[in-house]
Structure 1
């Protein structure tokens, strides 16, 4: 009796192992890797950021900037291709594919969609126009903003308040060190007797460089 029990147990175990390995091999044989590209149907240009989803499965990917994608799925799965501005496309993976790798090129067709209507109304009139002219806050466009940022007043404020950076401070320090080294061991030159400096002084005086300027506020 014990021998019969052991024989049946061994037979059942071997059959279970065989069936499990056969089922596992069948599952693995259905798994393939699909590599492809998404392109426009009219001009064959790459379509980027296309979402590729496996229908009824939490699985998917998207195409890169060149329209190339790679996805692992099973034979018989349905792939859904979707992108903004293009019609959705579906592709059914054939069951009779040979091998583990498969290439596909999916052509996307541009979709025509209509935006909600925009109603253009006339300017207000009468009392409404007077109120709008006085109190409406119309933002500046980019050109007006650029003019304000590059005005003489704004540039003067930046010149007066922007501190020097590291390279500028280093250049100023090295210039002073070079000047001191040039006159090392001797009397430095006095520019009060230099006619060129007097010429620069008179030119600056004529231009009004020494006039007292008002404080610049921003």
Structure 2
């Protein structure tokens, strides 16, 4: 009975050693780049956890590149702030001593409840503002205020001309220029009668000042 128990224990030990031997016997350089699934842009500084190696942690660089040593069949978790964690299991059989993979992680979308911000800190302040609030005028009062002479005068000074008003002004200007094309405007400096009248006014002004 004692020999049988010893043989069984040896068989279990051999089976356990046979299962762990492939993983511990071969090391693989696991490398790759981490990108976003939506935009295909690199995700920098992603935390990488090897669950099969006692939770050993690594980090990708600012370009999303990572490279570390693993065993075939290891389970690796990629996690980053704002992204859904992704679990990646390496193949149990890797021919080479290096393995490359493109890891894509999905952005995590969090829907927040809508928040309404009020300008009153307390209910008492709201009640005070509500009681002193000025009620807006109705449509008739607004129309009467907008059609008042003061309002119309202010709008006429501030509003720019429309196309119809500009067209009428150009038409009147062209019409006046066409009607006065043959009229010659005289220069008052070359008019002898105007000079005579001016001299008369000067002499009259001097006599008036002498009489005073």
TM over 0.5: no
TM-score (norm. length: structure 2): 0.44
Greater Rg over alpha carbons, structure: 2
